[in-house]
Amino acid sequence: MIDKVLIANRGEIALRILRASREMGVQTVAVHSTADADAMHVRLADESICIGPAAAKDSYLNTHALLSAAAISNADAIHPGYGFLSENADFAAMVEEHGFTFIGPTPEHIRLMGDKIAAKRAVADAGIPVVPGSDGEVTSLDDARAIAEGIGYPVLVKAAAGGGGRGMKVAQSAAEIDDSFRFARAEAEKAFGDGAVYLEKFLARPRHIEVQVLADHHGNVVHLGERDCSLQRRHQKLLEEAPSPALNGAERQRIGETVTEAMRAIGYRSVGTIEFLYEDGEFYFIEMNTRLQVEHPVTEMICGLDLVREMIRVAGGAPLGFDQDAVKFNGHAIECRINAENPDTFAPSPGRIGDYHAPGGLGVRVDSALYSGYAVPPHYDSMIAKLIVHGTNRNECLMRLRRSLAEYVIDGVETSIPLHQRLMGAADFVNGDYDIHWLEAFVRRNTGDT
């Protein structure tokens, strides 16, 4: 049983965790940097503790300050949210060593999935389809040439330590493999201090489709369907939807069952997301995220489940209260990420919020820590709100989303709302006909930037 949880995060996700905790009767401890003293999660928590100056490395990433805060406040568990320390295996281990419950997977699973080569091997052994490629690290140019011939061009050279799309380079043909190999290694070395790379077949027009899983400590695993997150710019997701307009029921069931079996085989627990590229009816694993994701609400809206509550319950040792047959998918949900940034140039736009009015009504959910008078600090991620809309079908969802975007007033900073509004009028988007490259081309057409 968990009675008091320390929330090691900020912004909308800190509020999200606080709300689930309060509904369960669990006490909450907020932590904050000096820049976040006036933040909503601090105002609403039962207790709050300042853990350091504005820079994240001194506050939200400061493991010693976080553990001290947990000890001082007598918390019995720590929820890491997403970003910051959520996928740091050493932190998860420290939390447990100090006698607190880490509300997430085991440190071993976090570590395994953080190493892309090891992760790919482990999930392939557990029956998950992966992108064809080299068997592990490729260390020499000669090997790279031979393996690329075997896979067939185009190929992608990827960093084993990868993240944020860095250390990745395509070779369209044999003429490019030498340069791509050298480039990816050098960039990986620079970005991650680890030059290890591997090769994969480069998929030309895939969609990004990810499967949500939930597992307890007793071997029970369910999947909660998929999310389509193909609308990305510079590998950052902008809009997510569930179910994917590209999948049929049989494909959904097949990939869901495959993933569930694999997670059972590796003994996974808590929430997790298995990310795939999907092309011509085939799924290809790219990575697993061992944490709660930004876009988890679209799954909640179609399943009628509270994922954060389930995370807290299973971390406290409770068994899942339902099985796969009890998971029913209902209607369609879309999430728009709203960032404080210029909708054309994407330059960050921190500042003080003037008038603020969030949309409401049937099927509309806003996850945000904004309020009128709040100053969006320049130190952190620019996402300030998530607008999540549910409808009985995709068309009703789009109608409601257009209406909600038009109602949303956020004065004082520039936001991505105008970009979302343009998207709602794009025929390809309305038809669900898009891949992972579509959004960048759409943005280029709209800004005249070529």
For binding to ligand ADP (CB under 6 A), which residues are involved?
131, 156, 162-165, 200-203, 206, 208, 235, 277, 286-287, 436
Phi and psi for 173 in degrees, rounded to 5?
A: -150, 175
- Dist. CA 66–CA 7, nearest whole Å: 9
Residue among 161 and 364 whose Cβ is closer to ligand ADP: 161
Cβ 388 to ligand ADP shortest distance, Å? 22
Q: Which is nearer to ligand ADP, 241 or 287 (CB)?
A: 287
In the bound state with ligand ADP, the residue whose beta carbon lies nearer, of 5 and 168, is 168
Residue (408 or 434) nearer to ligand ADP, CB: 434
Q: Which two tokens stand for residue 36?
A: 């976040």
Closest distance of CB 160 from ligand ADP, Å: 10
H or E stretch covering 68: helix 63-72
CA distance linking residue 145 with residue 167, whole number of Å: 18
Q: To the nearest whole angstrom, how small is the minimum distance from the Cβ of residue 286 to ligand ADP?
A: 4
Q: Answer for the pair 334, 364: CB distance below 8 angstroms, yes or no.
A: no
- Of 60 and 202, which has the nearer Cβ to ligand ADP? 202
Q: Are 407 and 389 in contact (CB under 8 A)?
A: no
Residue 104 beta carbon to ligand ADP: minimum distance, rounded to whole angstroms: 19
Cis peptide before 206 (omega within 30 of 0): no
Structure tokens at 176: 């490019």
What size, in residues, is the chain? 450
Q: How far is the CB of 120 from ligand ADP (least distance, A)?
A: 9
The catalytic position among 291, 313, 365, 394 is 291
User: Which H or E run includes 168?
Assistant: strand 168-171
Q: How far apart are CA 385 and CA 86, in angstroms?
A: 20
Distances (CA, A) of 267 to 78, 86, 106: 22, 19, 10
Active site residue 422: no
Closer CB to ligand ADP, 63 or 236, in the complex: 236
Q: Which residues sit opposite 366 in a β-bridge? A: 387
DSSP-derived 3-state class of residue 314: helix
Please check whether residue 418 is in contact with residue 405, taking contact to mean a CB–CB distance below 8 angstroms. no
Residue 289 CB, shortest distance to ligand ADP, in Å, is: 9
Cα torsion angle, 300, 301, 305, 306, sign: positive
Tokens representing 225 are 């369907």
Active site residues per annotation? 291
